Structure 1
């Protein structure tokens, strides 16, 4: 059937049903064009893969060992945006295309050496939204299509140099939600469609100049979930279409609600600390009477709640920050919950005893969970799980012996897992795997002589996987690894 789907796409292309040119037509969604191009490439050549181990630097933005210290690589319509400091313009917005051969400054939003300090880079549709300070309006919401002309202030919510300081940018459908302070109503919930006219106050949780602390904004099946702190803590859900809101959970003033995690079609998991430094796992299905606790966890908070299918996986049972006892039998191990009391259970005791394997970096690839864990024998290495004890296995002992390679910075891109790991003589460098047991391969060293390149922030754009890494001679800059179908990899020069 896969072959026939590929043929069908080619037939549509030849018949003119799908049009492909050198660029998007005016008003066309460039992200959709990118998706069609990716589909055509996959149909013609097969799925992408790393083209060997060698990565190259993407435009040495700031010459010398200091580097431009790039932050937050975000792919939008085949381009990768990030904030960087070239040493002249201060920290501004930069971009590179899918060829990843060079980088350019998008716009000098705040001329001079200070820079506009772009942050909270967020993709919505084919545009990038971010917060920046141009020196006149203060921190406000901006958007960019990757051109200087198309990089503009969305709305001046708070007049003057203080700015409204938008925070917690969260996409729900075709609107971007965030918190902001307009100087009159305090910090409240706002949303925008990318225009000044379409930038609106969505909900005033505390009428008047006072405001509640709004936290953990989370997209949930076309709705926005968030937590509001005042005299009590409340979990709210805001309908994406109507903007109407309702409370799903209320706790006492000293309570904390956090780690909102959607899973499946209708479940939202979250954690509640009622004020004793430990947490209960809760679940809601969208109504107060369908909101209930699942299990109490002693010691440290459960962490890294990660959805897989209709269940959520997490680490729980570890000792608390101040030495509070956790699970005395298993320690910190991998757990899962399907939203029921009986379905909230330990997946596997990877390291028997109270210390536990302390799984971290939970990431999903092709229906399996990948994570780092220490079984007490191999050190901290790459593991995977299908949700059963028997199906929870060591993927590869990258650094043999008890020290382990300590994998971090996991990212899944088109069926491949990218991460960084430390090995003797090489330091911390980049690695990748297609998930098969024993199929974990290293990238070529970026930092020489066993120094740490510390690659992280992996994203894909066009025919490259881009990431941030440090070469002692060039400092911290973006790098790119060719990532193409096998037939196209073979045509690259060695």
Structure 2
């Protein structure tokens, strides 16, 4: 059994997999979706995520590219406790994660998105997160009070091997692990003992050289055309070190007698790396191919105007251009450097703003003018700018993010008549902003937007005290977000309504009955055992819209099946809920089969209903045995 006073191993990747929105994540395993570091991972046509259901606990679920609700991949730890999955990572054709089991601790697992393809890879009791290295993952296994082991795995038992045994007492764990490329990574053991490894015991060596002792931490690592460099934080600034095959290092200051700008700003660019060097009048742009011989100040054909220089706040690449901020006479400005011609140009009159977001051929940033939030678009090819979006004074911009090379942004819209809503829009190539999705937003709500699948898929997570809903979109900017999963507190206590306010009163099973209520706060489905303590809310329409109503209710297979109709009748949906279960959408307009036209009734524990599409065609459907899915009867 692991001793609680062991030092934890801390590993960090080169590129953080942070969510794009401002919600801080889930704090404990009791949350509906508890994995706070990497909530979603992509494999094939599946998006995998951790979902907490009352019957199975926190387990692995999937949503496919085909329209339809999410489904359980595998119940790794049968029962209500769940396997507490963490470190969900997409690696090649698989998703890696760790799962907690009572007999073996936290082990390494791999999944291809199917139940039979979800298997345990290693029986080691892992401490800390998994980290990606090429097409493998690296993880830490504590051995005793002082020692631990670094392991690497390709997703098979035979391909899970020991990298090295760590013998020093850990200060802040193993330190930082940084993936340089497909063949080497870096980590820290103890206090400022830095190592480079190719994933084998023989290829794991300690860095050496006069400047190693000055390194406070390794911030990033890069494999370039002719060698590797590391971007390091020193105790008095920043530095770039060149790494030789034998592990010896040499710094830019040692070789060239210049100081790297601090705070550090660098930008990988093809097989090269651009960075800033401080001189007496500001900062100068330098370039390296990974070797001392290929490192020098960038030659320019057209300089910046006299008295202006590059500042140390940002450096981004768009195609063959570098975007940065300049300072000097006249204040700060945006500027672009053409790497193919060596020409500097400034964006005349562009307003000040926040960090740059690159989407396709353009760069975007947020600013505020005349009490209105705006999004500015920079075109580096012409060094021109324009306002792509301008919100009204009562609206507030959320965040900018990129899906399929298009800029998306969220904002909170306020209306005297419709209340607050979360709006998601995108900007097309002509610079116009277009509505993508809209969601009602209450005072107790929070949300998070996540980009997965190499910025091809957008995930929206909505949360409040009693529900959590996940929406997803794929393919094109015009595709609206659709719901793939939701969690409610299965039964929520509330004041029992008066008999006169109860509707659709129906026997549910041998011990419970079901009924609905309607008030100014929306419609609700209640399940009761006949006592005040045993009467709970099982479903509330505020999950969809406060104005939505519950029009029809049937009981089949010991579950309540009911229609939910928003203010727009074409948005009708069919739901089911049972004792202790989570409400489930059986049919929604976004499922791709048209609009719910009519519920014909219930026959032999099945609900029969009809849908019609925009072309006038109709289809008759029935629910399956456990009311979890539907099948077509006639068209």
Q: TM-score range by the shorter chain?
A: 0.5 to 0.7
**Given the superposition, is the C-alpha separation of residues 351 and 190 from structure 1 closer, same or farther in structure 2, using an over 3 Å criterion?**
farther
User: Which residue pairs with 2:410 in the alignment?
Assistant: 372
User: Which residue pairs with 2:84 in the alignment?
Assistant: 69
Q: Is the 8 A contact 1:137 1:162 kept in 2?
A: yes
C-alpha distance in 2 between matches for 1:376 and 1:220: 48
Q: Does 1:212 align with 2:215?
A: yes
Deviations 1:79-128 (A, max 9, x none): 22112222443333222234245644322224xxxxx2142421413x22
Q: Does 1:141 align with 2:150?
A: yes
Q: Does 1:417 align with 2:426?
A: no
User: Which residue pairs with 1:122 in the alignment?
Assistant: 132
Q: Is the 8 A contact 1:109 1:134 kept in 2?
A: no
Q: Is the 8 A contact 2:188 2:194 kept in 1?
A: yes
C-alpha displacement of 1:146: 2.2
**Given the superposition, is the C-alpha separation of residues 400 and 194 from structure 1 closer, same or farther in structure 2, using an over 3 Å criterion?**
closer
C-alpha distance in 1 between matches for 2:228 and 2:412: 37
C-alpha distance in 1 between matches for 2:86 and 2:296: 40
**Given the superposition, is the C-alpha separation of residues 356 and 213 from structure 1 closer, same or farther in structure 2, using an over 3 Å criterion?**
farther
C-alpha displacement of 1:396: 1.8
Matches within 5 A, 1:268-283: none
Corresponding residue to 2:206 among 201, 206, 229: 201
Tell me the SS of whatever aligns to 1:175.
coil
C-alpha displacement of 1:239: 6.7
C-alpha displacement of 1:331: 6.8
**Given the superposition, is the C-alpha separation of residues 419 and 473 from structure 1 closer, same or farther in structure 2, using an over 3 Å criterion?**
farther
Corresponding residue to 1:289 among 292, 297, 302: 297
Q: Is the 8 A contact 2:394 2:413 kept in 1?
A: no
In the superposition, the TM-score normalised over structure 1's length comes to 0.59
Tell me the SS of whatever aligns to 2:240.
strand
Higher strand share goes to which structure?
2
**Given the superposition, is the C-alpha separation of residues 56 and 302 from structure 1 closer, same or farther in structure 2, using an over 3 Å criterion?**
same
C-alpha distance in 2 between matches for 1:266 and 1:451: 55
**Given the superposition, is the C-alpha separation of residues 172 and 418 from structure 1 closer, same or farther in structure 2, using an over 3 Å criterion?**
same
C-alpha displacement of 1:375: 5.0
Q: Is the 8 A contact 1:268 1:283 kept in 2?
A: yes
User: Which residue pairs with 1:79 in the alignment?
Assistant: 94
Q: Is the 8 A contact 1:82 1:93 kept in 2?
A: yes
User: Which residue pairs with 1:175 in the alignment?
Assistant: 183
**Given the superposition, is the C-alpha separation of residues 163 and 426 from structure 1 closer, same or farther in structure 2, using an over 3 Å criterion?**
closer
**Given the superposition, is the C-alpha separation of residues 199 and 336 from structure 1 closer, same or farther in structure 2, using an over 3 Å criterion?**
farther
C-alpha displacement of 1:198: 1.0
C-alpha distance in 1 between matches for 2:119 and 2:146: 25
C-alpha displacement of 1:192: 1.7
| More displaced stretch, 132-141 vs 90-99 | 132-141
Matches within 5 A, 1:72-111: 72-101=87-116, 103-110=118-125
Q: Is the 8 A contact 2:360 2:406 kept in 1?
A: no
| Unmatched 5+ stretches in structure 1 | 1-36, 40-47, 111-115, 273-279, 318-326, 454-471, 476-491
**Given the superposition, is the C-alpha separation of residues 121 and 493 from structure 1 closer, same or farther in structure 2, using an over 3 Å criterion?**
farther
Q: Is the 8 A contact 1:332 1:357 kept in 2?
A: yes
Tell me the SS of whatever aligns to 1:135.
coil
Larger relative contact order (CA 8 Å, sep ≥ 6)? 1
C-alpha distance in 2 between matches for 1:201 and 1:240: 12
Corresponding residue to 1:229 among 225, 228, 233: 233
C-alpha distance in 2 between matches for 1:405 and 1:435: 26
Q: Is the 8 A contact 2:220 2:232 kept in 1?
A: no
Deviations 1:104-156 (A, max 9, x none): 4322224xxxxx2142421413x222333243773443101223343222122
In the superposition, the TM-score normalised over structure 2's length comes to 0.47
C-alpha distance in 2 between matches for 1:437 and 1:357: 21
Corresponding residue to 1:441 among 472, 482, 486: 482
Corresponding residue to 2:426 among 374, 378, 384: 384
C-alpha distance in 2 between matches for 1:282 and 1:398: 47
Q: Does 1:191 align with 2:200?
A: no
